[in-house]
Structure 1
Amino acid sequence: MNEIEYWYDTEYDEWERLERHKIEFDITKRFLNDFIKGENLEIFDIGGGPGRYAMYLAERGHRVTLLDLSKKNIEVAKRKSFEKGITLQGYIHGNALELEEFEPQYDVILLMGPLYHLIKKSDRRKAVEGAIKLLKPNGIIIVTFISSYAPIQDNLLHLYPIDFVEDLLGYLENGENKEGKGFTTAYFINPNEAKEFMNSHGLQEVTFAGIENILGCKEKEINLLDESEYRKWIEIGYRLSTDESLIGTSQHLLYIGSKA
């Protein structure tokens, strides 16, 4: 946890990441729009970084609390929300594995980040179980994963030099990314494994999607399109995101489930 916190505090600008990865941001927001039903909901954004999604949902009239492992991200969230004239219900420096102090009062929980960095399945399970306990009955949880195909997709997007083909394909077997390999410690998961893992928690699956799908390898070009053409591609990407034949082409996977 200290290594991961240090990465986000000193090495990485998470706010700017979603400026570069607009496709991920905009398609994810489409899912939030379509599956977060109701008004003035209590939402807990666990591991929400500098609060881009938290602020988006607060702008839509919900009461959103943000928690993140990185002190820097929390400070950025405070500053950016002030600049936007948005007030979140809380800005908490905390750990997704330590949720015992919070009350089960939330209509929606976002867990869109913590599972990227939990190598042990037991820790991933603890984070999900802890989040589910905080949901009201029939509340929904929205979880994201990094796909085990993501390193291949990223290298294809940028055409980075490949040192060893076996290393790149190795993520499909192991999934573990060690510190210093272009990212901090992370776990990249097979799409079927991610779906089965979430359904093993007694949730009612609402949807499972590959966020970027076929748009990912043309991200740079799509980002440069005029707004009208860009929006057409976002619509295509959104409609294809739940096509089971294409889910493995995404860097990020999204699961939405309901607490039965």
Structure 2
Amino acid sequence: MATSIDILDYYRRGGEHARLAWGVGRLEYLRTLDVLTRMLPPAPAVVLDVGGATGVYAEPLAAAGYRVHLLDLLPEHAAAAAGRAGVTALAGDARALPVPDGRFDAVLLLGPLYHLLDRADRVTAWREAARAVRPGGPVVAATISRYASLFDGFAKGLFGDPDFRPLVERALADGRHLNTRPERSWFTSAYFHHPTEPASEATEAGLAVRRVVSVEGPLGFAGGRLDEILADPGQTELLLELSRRVEDEPSLLGASGHLLTVAGRPRTAARPADGDGVGSAAG
């Protein structure tokens, strides 16, 4: 179950360190939290944040009263997350979660799926999330759109580099965004989902799909104008309000940089007794 070295190196070099703090990353962050507040069971539910990095989503969820346990493949990420208020964390792989069956009220997969290039690995991650969540509980997973590098390449002027187009062509052909030039500032190797694929994977893993929603929508590629909108609290709130209105629109799914798929574990088994769990790691 090896993970590509270039992916691990990308994050160890600080890739994505501040991405969610400004611009399109800020919109992704705000929209993701907005969806989570509506899709998660009420606090103090116990949430497993798989691939949660240093805890950028775990921390606000903990502040809202959730009991958050985070797992990340990189031990240094898990250590940093464990330092956030209200968050417990351990190193762990999305394909073999070190947790008991049905222990959590909700499971988040906000990073792992697009770093698993093989479908079998992604279905395994979905299946592990389904095992970890209680019957009826939600699993919320993030994926990158098949067309993200195409739109982003024009928005950021990346096609001036002759090595960038082959990267986009491969992603459009089979979803594999294979960055063979890690010295570039491009995103690391990843799998870019067609909008129909996340639901198919979740269903294969035994989950019942509830919703697939766009995160940023086309505004994610708006460049500097987006910075102006997000600098204005009134405009930001308007953007979030209207984005909710169209987040389920199928025709917009492929025009968003990221998608969130919300699925649920069927109510076919009893939840473990309260004494079963992962000890202090789950709160």
Shared topology, TM-score over 0.5?
A: yes
Q: How many residue pairs are counted as aligned between the two chains?
A: 253
**1:143-189 Cα shifts (integer Å, max 9, x gaps):** 11111111012113212234375652432221112243523221111
| Residue aligning to 2:259 | 253
The correspondence for 2:147, drawn from 122, 146, 149, is 149
Alignment partner, residue 92 of structure 1: 90
Describe how 1:39-188 pairs up with structure 2 within 5 A: 39-79=43-83, 81=84, 86-88=85-87, 90-162=88-160, 163=162, 167-181=167-181, 182-188=186-192
Does 2:216 match 1:212? yes
Partner of 1:137, secondary structure, is: coil
Deviations, residues 31-89 of structure 1 (Å, cap 9, x unaligned):
1111112231011000011111111111111110011112332233234x2xxxx221x
Query: 3-state SS of the aligned residue for 2:173?
Result: coil
Q: Deviations over 1:111-155 (max 9, x none)?
A: 111111111111111111111101111011001111111101211
- 1:18 aligned to 13, 17, 20, which one? 20
Contact 1:108 1:135 in 2 (8 A): yes
2:281 aligns to what?
none
- Structure 1 window deviating more from structure 2 (201-210 vs 26-35): it is 201-210
Query: Which stretch of structure 1 is more off in the superposition, 227-236 or 4-13?
Result: 4-13
Q: What TM-score do the two structures reach when normalised by structure 2?
A: 0.83
More displaced 10-residue stretch of structure 1: 63-72 or 199-208: 199-208
Distance change >3 Å, CA 166–CA 10, structure 1 → 2 = closer
Match of 1:32 in 2: 36
Structure 2 residues not aligned, in runs of 5+: 267-283
The answer on 1:203 being equivalent to 2:202 is: no
> What code does the residue aligned with 1:68 have?
D
Q: Which of 187, 190, 193 is residue 189 of structure 1 equivalent to? A: 193
C-alpha separation in 1, matches of 2:73 and 2:124: 16
CA distance change for structure 1 residues 241 and 101 in 2, over 3 Å: closer, same or farther? Answer: closer
What SS class does the counterpart of residue 57 from structure 2 fall into?
Answer: helix
Output the amino acid matched with 1:69: L
Counterpart position of 1:7 = 10
Any conservation in 2 of the 1:172–1:190 contact (CA below 8 Å)? no
The answer (yes or no) to whether the contact 1:8–1:73 under 8 Å persists in 2 is: no
C-alpha distance 36-73 of structure 1, shift in aligned 2 (>3 A):
same
1:209-250 CA distance string (max 9 Å, x none): 111112112153222231111221222223222110111001
**2-side partners of 1:104 and 1:156: how far apart?**
44
C-alpha distance in 2 between matches for 1:183 and 1:207: 27
Contact 2:218-2:252 within 8 A present in 1 as well: yes
- Larger RCO (CA under 8 A, 6+ residues apart): 2
Are the counterparts in 2 of residues 111 and 142 from structure 1 also a CA contact under 8 Å? yes
Give per-residue Cα distances to partners, 1:74-110, cap 9 Å, x unaligned: 233234x2xxxx221x211121122155442101000
The amino acid that maps onto 2:53 is G
**Equivalent residue letter for 2:198:** A
In structure 1, the gaps of 5 or more residues are none
Could you tell me which amino acid in structure 2 is paired with residue 252 of structure 1?
H
Distance 1:206 1:232 in 2: 26
